[in-house]
Structure 1
Amino acid sequence: IDIAERSGARLQISHLKASGKSNWGKLDGALERLRTGDLSGRPIGADRYPYTAGCTDLDIVLPEWASHGGREVVLARLRNPETRKKIRTELMDHPPGRWDNVMIGSTQFDGFKGKRLTEVAESLDMDEVDALLHLIDSDDLKTGGLFFGMSEKNMWRVLAEPYVSLGSDGSLRAPWGPLSHDHPHPRAYGSHTKFLRAALDGQTVPLAGAIHKMTALPAKQFGLKKRGLLKEGYFADIAIFNPDDLKENTTYANPHQLSDGMRHVIVNGFHILKDGKHTENRGGKFLDHP
Structure 2
Amino acid sequence: MFAQPEEIRALAKVVARHEGIYATHMRSEGGKLLEAIDEALDVARVSGVRLQISHLKTAGRANWGKLDAALDKIRAAQKAGVEVASDRYPYTASCTDLDVILPTWAAQGGRVAILARLRDPDERAKIRAEMAAARDDKYWESVWIGSTHHLANAPFAGKPIAVAAEAWKLPPLDAALRFMETDELFTGGIFFGMSEENMWRILAEPWVMIGSDASIRAPWGPLSHDHPHPRAYGTFGRFLRAALDGKPVSIGEAVRKMTSLPAEQFRLKDRGAIRAGAFADIVALDPKTFRDLATYEKPHQFCEGLSAVWVNGVATFRDGKDTGARGGRYLV
Specify the TM-score bucket, using the shorter chain as the normaliser.
over 0.9
1:116 to 2:160 alignment: yes
Aligned to 2:286: 242
Shift of 1:39: 7.1
Shift of 1:36: 1.5
1:194 to 2:238 alignment: yes
Aligned to 1:99: 140
1:14 to 2:58 alignment: no
Aligned to 2:312: 268
Aligned to 2:263: 219
Aligned partners of 1:8 and 1:39 also within 8 Å: no
Aligned to 1:153: 197
Aligned-residue identity in percent: 54
| Structure 2 gap segments, 5+ residues each | 1-40
Q: Which of 287, 296, 316 is equivalent to 1:252?
A: 296
**2:87 alignment partner, SS class:** strand
| Pair 1:174–1:38, CA change in 2 (3 A) | closer
Paired with 1:42 and 1:209, the residues of 2 have a C-alpha distance of 23
Paired with 2:130 and 2:89, the residues of 1 have a C-alpha distance of 32
Aligned partners of 1:5 and 1:39 also within 8 Å: no
**1:156 alignment partner, SS class:** helix
TM-score by length of 1: 0.97
TM-score by length of 2: 0.85
Paired with 1:87 and 1:139, the residues of 2 have a C-alpha distance of 18
Shift of 1:123: 0.8
Aligned to 2:71: 31
| Pair 1:128–1:176, CA change in 2 (3 A) | same
Q: Which runs of 4+ in 1 moved over 3 A?
A: 38-43
Shift of 1:178: 1.2
Higher relative contact order (CA closer than 8 Å, sequence separation 6+): 1
Paired with 1:283 and 1:38, the residues of 2 have a C-alpha distance of 37
Shift of 1:119: 1.4
Q: Which of 82, 85, 88 is equivalent to 2:125?
A: 85
Q: Any residues of structure 2 matched to 1:118-133 within 5 Å, and which?
A: 118-133=162-177
| Structure 1 gap segments, 5+ residues each | none
How many residues align? The count is 288
Aligned partners of 2:230 and 2:294 also within 8 Å: yes
Per-residue Cα deviation, 1:158-180 (whole angstroms, up to 9, x for no partner): 00000000111110100111111
Aligned partners of 2:212 and 2:232 also within 8 Å: yes
1:279 to 2:323 alignment: yes
Aligned partners of 1:237 and 1:268 also within 8 Å: yes
Aligned to 2:222: 178
Q: CA RMSD in A?
A: 1.2
Paired with 1:49 and 1:162, the residues of 2 have a C-alpha distance of 14
Shift of 1:71: 0.4
